[in-house]
């Protein structure tokens, strides 16, 4: 009998982290894939703040042709920032998703302030510019290079994910994405304290056709931004058609991502979310975004 919830059959986890990584991670890619298979899931998207994950995903698919394992690129300082060149290369390699800045965004930098955290347990601090990336200029006009990136995403018909941008930036970005005929927009962990999006704005984004990540990490001991009951209530208000259940797990001190997704599903059911809505949020909506 599977350790994982039966509603994970055919599911795709759009947001989790594994090793290789600069950050301490719970599982290697291969350990994550074993859990994906054990749960009967259709696949997983590999995310890394510090490198593109497309080539890793390509190699895994060669060994596991029945799984939908994909990668993408986060536009952080580590990968060239908001670089159309880097995005173009990632798309040509097979990226299914381009994330706006996360670790390197101004919003992320402001949230964590100037904590002199020694990530990576290295003697020498990580080389990372102090200036946080924004997608707009001082007049709140989208930067030309960001328009170029959006054009590439629209042309390739892949997913634009909003990363750790401020809610105001997200609203402007989504409008610009529409101009570039981008159809697949994923709003990252809208409830997470790093870059929260108020519920009314979440509803507005849903009306504009975006899918909102309902992220288990926001309910975790690490963040405690809302309870699982409040998470379920937000899904009821927005509508499951516009939501995707994700974990954002993979941190070394947390349970592994697939186990977390299984737990998340169990808790959402206990809060009154229907099985058909769960299926929409873990199977149908992720597959639609990925063009499957």
Q: Which two tokens stand for residue 245?
A: 């259940």
Cα separations in angstroms, 163 against 120, 137, 141: 22, 18, 18
How many angstroms separate the CA atoms of 283 and 10, rounded?
Answer: 6
SS3 content of the chain, % helix, strand, coil (to 5): 45, 15, 40
Give the per-residue pLDDT at 51: 96
Give the per-residue pLDDT at 144: 98
Q: Which two tokens stand for residue 61?
A: 């698919």
Average pLDDT of the residues of the chain: 94
Residue 255, pLDDT > 70, answer yes
- As a whole number, mean pLDDT of residues 153-168 equals 97
- As a whole number, mean pLDDT of residues 162-177 equals 97
Banded pLDDT at 69 (limits 50, 70, 90): very high
Residue 238, pLDDT > 70, answer yes
Extents of the domains making up the chain: 6-290
Dihedral of alpha carbons 61, 67, 72, 74, sign = negative
Contacts of 284 (CB under 8 A, 6+ apart): none
Give the per-residue pLDDT at 1: 55
- As a whole number, mean pLDDT of residues 85-93 equals 98
| CATH code that applies to domain 6-290 | 3.20.20.140
- Give the containing element (helix H, strand E) for 149: helix 144-156
How many angstroms separate the CA atoms of 48 and 156, rounded?
Answer: 21
3-state secondary structure of 118: coil
Give the per-residue pLDDT at 124: 75
Task: Quote the DSSP letter at residue 2.
Answer: -
pLDDT tens-digit series, residues 96-119: 999 999 988 888 877 776 555 555
Cis peptide before 20 (omega within 30 of 0): yes
For the chain, give the number of residues. 292
pLDDT tens-digit series, residues 22-54: 999 999 999 999 999 999 999 999 999 999 999
Q: Which two tokens stand for residue 149?
A: 């990136």
pLDDT tens-digit series, residues 107-159: 887 777 655 555 555 677 778 887 889 999 999 999 999 999 999 999 999 99
Q: Which two tokens stand for residue 196?
A: 């929260």
């Amino acid at each position: 009998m599977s350790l994982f919830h039966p509603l994970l059959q055919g599911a795709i986890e759009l947001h989790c982290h594994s090793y290789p990584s600069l950050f301490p991670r719970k599982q290697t890619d291969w350990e994550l894939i074993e859990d994906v298979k054990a749960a009967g899931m259709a696949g997983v998207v590999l995310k890394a703040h510090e490198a593109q994950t497309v080539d890793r995903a390509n190699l895994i698919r060669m060994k596991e042709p029945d799984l939908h394992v994909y990668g993408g690129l986060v536009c952080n300082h580590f990968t060239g920032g908001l670089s159309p060149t880097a995005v173009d290369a990632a798309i040509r390699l097979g990226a299914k998703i381009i994330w706006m800045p996360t670790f390197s965004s101004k919003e992320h930098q402001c949230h964590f302030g100037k904590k002199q955290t020694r990530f990576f347990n290295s003697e020498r601090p990580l080389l990372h510019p102090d200036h946080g990336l924004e997608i707009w200029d001082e007049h709140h006009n989208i930067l030309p290079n960001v328009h170029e990136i959006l054009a590439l995403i629209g042309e390739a018909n892949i997913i634009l994910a909003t990363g750790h941008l401020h809610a105001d930036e997200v609203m402007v970005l989504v409008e610009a994405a529409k101009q570039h005929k981008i159809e697949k927009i994923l709003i990252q962990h809208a409830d997470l304290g790093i870059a929260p999006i108020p519920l009314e704005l979440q509803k507005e984004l849903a009306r504009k056709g975006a899918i909102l990540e309902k992220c288990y990490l926001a309910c975790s001991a690490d963040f405690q931004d809302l309870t699982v009951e409040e998470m379920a209530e937000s899904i009821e208000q927005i509508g499951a058609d516009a939501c995707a259940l994700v974990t954002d797990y993979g941190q070394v001190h947390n349970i592994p991502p697939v186990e977390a997704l299984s737990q998340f599903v169990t808790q959402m059911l206990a809060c009154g979310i229907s099985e058909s809505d769960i299926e929409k949020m873990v199977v149908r909506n992720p597959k639609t975004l990925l063009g499957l």
